[in-house]
Each structure stands twice: as C-alpha cells, then as structure tokens.
Amino acid sequence: MFRRGIYAITTSPPPAGDLSSAVAAALRGGVAMLQYRDKGRDHARRLGEVLRLRELCHRHGAPLIVNDDVALAAEAGADGVHLGRDDTPVASARRALGEEAVIGVSCYADLSRAERAAAEGADYIAFGSLFPSPTKPDAVRAPLDLPAEARRRTGLPVVGIGGIHAGNIDRVAAAGIDAAAVISALFGTDDIEAAARKLTAAYNSNKGVDHAS
C-alpha cells in the first residue's frame, strides 16, 4: 500500500556501519516507505538484505519496494517494485507480483509516460529531478508543479525525487506532492534518525501550504 510522506531510497554501497542499522534508524525517524536500490550482481547478498529490510519495514508499517528487479522482489516477498524507463513492463511486473503489489514508475519529466503508466496499472508515478541532485547530477530537471499536474490527469499518487533536502522539502510538500524521495539527505547524514524526523516534520507541516503566495 502506498504511504504518503518521506520515501527513503537506499544507497549502494550502504552508509557507514551497515544497511540494516541505517534503515532501522530511518524508520524510527518516521520514514513512510523504503526503496531498496542496489545494482550489484551478488544475488545472495541482495536477497539477504531485502529479507532483513522487509522484516524491519513491516515492523514499522512501511512498504518495502525493490528498485528494478521484479524477480528479486517476488523471491523476497517485497511489497512492490519501482520501474524505470528500460525495466520490466508494468503488466509483466503485475503478473509476477500479484494484484496487491505496489508498482511505481519513473516518469522523469514526461506527462505522457505518466498517463501510459496509469493506463497500464501503475500504483504511483515519480518525477524528477526536482532540484539539482548529488546522486544523479546530469538528470533532466522536472518542474516542481509537474507531479501535481500528473496526479490531476491520472488520479495516481505522485512522488518527487532529486535533490530534496531539509532546506527545500517545504516547497515539495506545498506543491501537493504525495511522497518526497530522499537519498543523501537521509543516508548521507551523521544522524539518520534525526534527519528522518526533521524531514518528516517539515513535510507534514507544509502539506498544502502555498509558499508562493
């Protein structure tokens, strides 16, 4: 089930310490959803990590989404998968994961892609980069008002990603974006739990507030 709020995306390699500890801290801080993102080839390691993170996420009521890898998501019993431009089609992911799975689609800055994803049965759509991103510095920029326009057209929840941090998350929330995806602003900090609490509080207090007025 899609949850609104802070949508944490793991880094590879994981932060100092270990991945489970970092994710546990983020969840204690109020993260609403978690995406496991790891492009490594060690299947046994990745499967073990997803299984551990699934247990942590479910303990906190947060869905666990696997980036790109439908087979891994199915094997580990994850809650869903996030698909990019060159990944498995939505319909194939749905057949593999079932009707209850949460399937998200990256739409970059493309409204027509969002409309296609909605027609194919996606559960949420993601747009970015909303701001300059340290993770993907060459990513195409998406206007801040684009996700909300896509939600009006498709009826799906929208995720904003790219360069979101404590200094601009108020604008993300005010723009009507359902979930703010963060990576370095969370896992790149010295105190992950405190960072998650700060991001969550700022997002919640600014939902629906028009900072342009």
For the segment 123-155, what is each residue's pLDDT rounded down to a tens digit?
999 999 999 988 788 888 999 999 999 999 999
Instruction: List the single range of 76-80, 83-87, 93-97, 177-181 with lowest mean pLDDT.
Output: 83-87
Residue 162 has what pLDDT? 96
207/189: higher pLDDT = 189
Could you state, in order of their start, the residue ranges of all structural domains in the chain? 5-206
Q: What's the pLDDT score for residue 206?
A: 85
Above 50 in pLDDT, residue 213? no
Separation CA 204–CA 173 (nearest Å): 7
The CATH number of 5-206, from 3.10.20.600, 3.20.20.140, 3.30.470.20, 3.20.20.70, is 3.20.20.70
Residue 66, strand partner residues: 36, 81
User: Is there a contact between 119 and 111 (Cβ–Cβ < 8 Å)?
Assistant: no
Q: Report in angstroms the alpha-carbon separations of 5 from 29, 44, 166, 180, 206.
A: 12, 31, 13, 6, 11
Active-site residue set:
37, 106, 136
**Range of weakest confidence among 15-19, 65-69, 102-106, 172-176:** 15-19
Residue 208 has a pLDDT of 59
Confidence band for 69, pLDDT divided at 50, 70 and 90: very high
pLDDT at residue 15 is higher than 80: no
**pLDDT value of residue 212:** 41
pTM over 0.85: yes
Q: Which residue has the tokens 């087979």?
A: 71
Provide CB contacts within 8 A for 107, sequence distance 6+: 113, 114, 117, 125, 126, 127, 150
Give residue 122's identity as a one-letter amino acid code: A
The pLDDT of residue 31 is 98
For CA atoms 127, 30, 137, 35, the dihedral sign is: negative
Question: pLDDT tens across 191-212, in order?
Answer: 999 999 999 999 999 875 554 4
DSSP output for the chain: ----EEEEE--SSPPSS-HHHHHHHHHHTT--EEEE----S-HHHHHHHHHHHHHHHHHTT--EEEES-HHHHHHHT-SEEEE-TTS--HHHHHHHH-TTSEEEEEEET-HHHHHHHHHHT-SEEEE--SS--SSSTTPPP--TTHHHHHHHHH---EEEESS--TTTHHHHHHTT-SEEEESHHHHTSS-HHHHHHHHHHHHHHHTT--TT-
Report the pLDDT value the prediction gives residue 166, as an integer from 0 to 100: 96
According to the model, what pLDDT value does residue 140 have? 87
